[in-house]
C-alpha cells in the first residue's frame, strides 16, 4: 500500500497528557488515579494514550466494551470494561485480558454461571443509567463475587448541586456491605470535589485537556488540530463564501480554503465563529463549515500559501462555549482522517 501523507493532523502533546494525569493523581490524595481511555482514548488513540500513562504510573484503565479492551490487550494492562458482559462477550472474557464491570442482575448471574472470578460492579446512586441498586446489594445479589472495585458515577459533578452530596452519601453507605476491595466514585470533575475520591478515581476528560470545573485550571491542552491550505483566493466585496452564502465580504478579502470539515469532527457549529492560528495571528472561519472544507480569512497572513499548514483554535473550554458543543464532543468527534502525531513540549 502506498504511504500517502494525510492533509490534516492532530498534534498531541504527550508531556501535557502525562502532566494532566499527575495533576489529577495529586488531587486524588491517597486514592489511586486511573484513566478512562474509552472511545479510542477520547479520540486521541487509546494505545498511545495508555502506553504513556502506564509509563507515568497509572495502573487502572477503563474502556466501554470488549472490542476496546481487546485493542489494549497487547499492552498487558489492568483494564475494566464499563459496560459489563453480554453473552456475546463471553469468549473474549475467558481470554482474561480484562475484567467486567457488572451492571445488572442478569450480568451478575451470567458471571456467576461462568465461574465468577475477579470483577468490578457498578451501583446506581441516582443517575439512573447503569448499575445495580442498593436494594439488590442488600438482598444478596453480589454475595459470593470476588469484587475488586465497587463503583458509581456522579451525574452532576461539574455543577455545585445537592445531588452530588446525595450520591456521595449513598455510595459511602455501601462501604463494607460487599466483598469489594476498593470504592470508586469520582470522574474528572469529581476529583475537584473534596471528599469524593474514596479509593480510586477515574478521570477521563481532564486527562485530554478538558476543564469541567474551575478548580482544574492547571489542566493543559493536549490536542491541536492542523490542516493544509488547498487554495488561496481573493474574494471581491459583496461576494459570498460557502454553502448558503452565510458570509459576504464587505471589502476585498484574502481567503484560504483548508482541507478540513465536519466529516473530521470540525463541526458546522464553528460556522462564522471558529478560527485558525498562524504564528500568533487569528484567522477567522468565513461562512459555513462543509464536509471536507473550511474557508478562513487570511488578510493578516500574507505569507500563507497553498500547501502551508494552519492550526485550528481548539482550546476545549472556550471552543465549547463558542460552539455550544460539549468538550467531550469536541474530543471524541475528531475523525479518522487525521494523522495523529505525538510530540513532547
Tell me the domain boundaries of the chain: 13-208, 223-343
pLDDT at 280 over 80: yes
Torsion of CA 25, 27, 31, 32, to 10 degrees: -10
In angstroms, the CA 234 to CA 254 distance is 5
Fold of 13-208: TIM Barrel (3.20.20)
Residue numbers annotated as active site: 38, 243
Question: 241 CB contacts (<8 Å, ≥6 apart)?
Answer: 235, 247, 248, 249, 255, 286, 287, 295
Closest CA to 55 of 98, 24, 18: 18
Average pLDDT (39-49) is 98
In angstroms, the CA 71 to CA 74 distance is 7
Average pLDDT (177-194) is 98
Query: Is residue 344 very low, low, confident or very high in pLDDT (cuts 50, 70, 90)?
Result: confident
Q: What percent of the chain has pLDDT over 90?
A: 98
pLDDT at 55 over 90: yes
pLDDT at 189 over 90: yes
Mean pLDDT taken over the chain: 97
Query: Is residue 1 very low, low, confident or very high in pLDDT (cuts 50, 70, 90)?
Result: confident
CB contact at 8 A, 253 and 246: no
pLDDT at 204 over 90: yes
Average pLDDT (32-50) is 98
Query: 192-220: string of b/e by CB count within 10 Å (b at 16+)?
Result: bbeebbbbbbbbbbbbbbbbbbeebeebb
Q: Count the neighbouring beta carbons within 10 Å of the beta carbon of residue 106.
A: 13
Residue 100's pLDDT is 98
pLDDT at 83 over 70: yes
In angstroms, the CA 242 to CA 291 distance is 11
In angstroms, the CA 278 to CA 270 distance is 18
Residue 345's pLDDT is 61
Residue 222's pLDDT is 98
Average pLDDT (114-132) is 96
pLDDT at 112 over 70: yes
Q: What percent of the chain has pLDDT over 70?
A: 100
CB contact at 8 A, 197 and 31: yes
Superfamily of segment(s) 223-343:
Lyase, Ornithine Decarboxylase; Chain A, domain 1 (2.40.37.10)
Q: Could you report the per-residue pLDDT of 3-17, keeping only the tens digit for each?
A: 899 999 999 999 999
Query: Is residue 260 very low, low, confident or very high in pLDDT (cuts 50, 70, 90)?
Result: very high
Query: Is residue 94 very low, low, confident or very high in pLDDT (cuts 50, 70, 90)?
Result: confident
Q: Which cell is 56 given?
A: 507515568
Average pLDDT (180-195) is 98
Q: Do domains 13-208 and 223-343 have the same CATH topology?
A: no
In angstroms, the CA 13 to CA 269 distance is 25
Q: Could you report the per-residue pLDDT of 296-331, keeping only the tens digit for each?
A: 999 999 999 999 999 999 999 999 999 999 999 999
* Backbone φ and ψ of 174, nearest 5°: -90, -5
Closest CA to 291 of 255, 265, 256: 265
Residue 196's pLDDT is 98
Please state whether beta strands 8-13 and 339-343 pair in parallel, antiparallel, or not at all (unpaired). Answer: parallel
Closest CA to 137 of 154, 121, 153, 120: 121
Amino acid at each position: 500500500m502506498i504511504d500517502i501523507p494525510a492533509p490534516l493532523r492532530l498534534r498531541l502533546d504527550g508531556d501535557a497528557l502525562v502532566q494532566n494525569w499527575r495533576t489529577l493523581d495529586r488531587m486524588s490524595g491517597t486514592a489511586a488515579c486511573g484513566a478512562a481511555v474509552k472511545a479510542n482514548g477520547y479520540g486521541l488513540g487509546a494505545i498511545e494514550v495508555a502506553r504513556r500513562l502506564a509509563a507515568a504510573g497509572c495502573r487502572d484503565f477503563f474502556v466501554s466494551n470488549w472490542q476496546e479492551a481487546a485493542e489494549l490487550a497487547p499492552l498487558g494492562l489492568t483494564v475494566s470494561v464499563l459496560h459489563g458482559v453480554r453473552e456475546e462477550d463471553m469468549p473474549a472474557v475467558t481470554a482474561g485480558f480484562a475484567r467486567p464491570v457488572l451492571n445488572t442482575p442478569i450480568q451478575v448471574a451470567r458471571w456467576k454461571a461462568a465461574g465468577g472470578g475477579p470483577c468490578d460492579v457498578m451501583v446506581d446512586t441516582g443517575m439512573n443509567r447503569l448499575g445495580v441498586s442498593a436494594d439488590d446489594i442488600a438482598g444478596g445479589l453480589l454475595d459470593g463475587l470476588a469484587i475488586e472495585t465497587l463503583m458509581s458515577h456522579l451525574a452532576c459533578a461539574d455543577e455545585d448541586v445537592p445531588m452530588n452530596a446525595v450520591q456521595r452519601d449513598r455510595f459511602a453507605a455501601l462501604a463494607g456491605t460487599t466483598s469489594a476491595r476498593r470504592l470508586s466514585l469520582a470522574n474528572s470533575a469529581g476529583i475537584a470535589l473534596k471528599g469524593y475520591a474514596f479509593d480510586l478515581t477515574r478521570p477521563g476528560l481532564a486527562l485530554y485537556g478538558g476543564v469541567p470545573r474551575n478548580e482544574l485550571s492547571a489542566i493543559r491542552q493536549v490536542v491541536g488540530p492542523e490542516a493544509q491550505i488547498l487554495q488561496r483566493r481573493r474574494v471581491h466585496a459583496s461576494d459570498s463564501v460557502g454553502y448558503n452564502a452565510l458570509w459576504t465580504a464587505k471589502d476585498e478579502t484574502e481567503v484560504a480554503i483548508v482541507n478540513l470539515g465536519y466529516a473530521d469532527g470540525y463541526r458546522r457549529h464553528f460556522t462564522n465563529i471558529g478560527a485558525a492560528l498562524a504564528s500568533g495571528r487569528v484567522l477567522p472561519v468565513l461562512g459555513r463549515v462543509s464536509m471536507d472544507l473550511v474557508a478562513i480569512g487570511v488578510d493578516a497572513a500574507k505569507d500563507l500559501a497553498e500547501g502551508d499548514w494552519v492550526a485550528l483554535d481548539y482550546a476545549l473550554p472556550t471552543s465549547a462555549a463558542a460552539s455550544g458543543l460539549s468538550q467531550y464532543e469536541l474530543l471524541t468527534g475528531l475523525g479518522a482522517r487525521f494523522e495523529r502525531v505525538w510530540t513532547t513540549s
